[in-house]
C-alpha cells in the first residue's frame, strides 16, 4: 500500500518554463490537497479538491493550476515558473468530504514531497 505518491521528487526549472507535479493516492480518499513549504513559513495551502470533479483555491493559488483527473489523481501545474515558486511541494489526501464523519476523516496523509528549484 503506497499511500500518497508524488513525482518527481526533485526538479530544476528555468524561469518561464512549465511543469506538472503529479500526485496519486491509493487509499480511496475523497479529498486531495497541494501545499507548499518554505523556510520559516510552515505549510501553506495552494489548492484543494474536496471531491472528484471539484477544486478550490487555498491561501496561495497565484501562478498555479490544478486538475483532479479522477478520484486517485490530483496534479499541480506551473504554467510559467518564477523563482518565487522555489519550494518544497506536498500533496496530501484525506478520507471524506470535509466536515463529515469521525475525526479519522480529518486526518491528512502526506506524500514525500517534491523539491522544486526555479533559476
Instruction: Indicate the residue among 14 and 42 with the shorter CB distance to other proteins.
Output: 42
Contact (CB, 8 A) for 51 and 37: no
81, 13 Cβ separation under 8 angstroms: yes
Size of the site for other proteins (CB under 8 A): 26
8 binds other proteins (CB under 8 A): no
Question: Does residue 31 bind other proteins (CB under 8 A)?
Answer: yes
CB neighbour list of residue 77: distance below 8 Å, 6 or more residues apart: 18, 19, 20, 21, 64, 65, 66, 67
41: enclosing H helix or E strand = none
Which one of residues 23, 24, 50, 60 is an interface residue with other proteins (CB under 8 A)?
50
- Residue ranges that bind other proteins, judged by CB under 8 A: 31, 33, 40-45, 48, 50, 58, 88, 90, 92, 94, 97-99, 103, 106-110, 112-113
Amino acid at each position: 500500500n503506497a499511500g500518497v505518491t508524488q513525482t518527481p521528487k526533485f526538479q530544476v526549472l528555468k524561469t518561464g518554463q512549465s511543469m506538472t507535479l503529479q500526485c496519486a493516492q491509493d487509499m480511496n480518499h475523497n479529498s486531495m490537497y497541494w501545499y507548499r513549504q518554505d523556510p520559516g513559513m510552515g505549510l501553506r495551502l495552494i489548492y484543494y479538491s474536496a471531491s472528484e470533479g471539484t477544486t478550490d483555491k487555498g491561501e496561495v493559488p497565484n501562478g498555479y493550476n490544478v486538475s483532479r483527473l479522477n478520484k486517485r489523481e490530483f496534479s499541480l501545474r506551473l504554467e510559467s515558473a518564477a523563482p518565487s515558486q522555489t519550494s518544497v511541494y506536498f500533496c496530501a489526501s484525506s478520507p471524506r468530504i470535509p466536515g463529515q464523519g469521525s475525526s479519522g476523516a480529518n486526518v491528512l496523509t502526506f506524500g514525500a514531497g517534491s523539491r522544486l528549484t526555479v533559476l
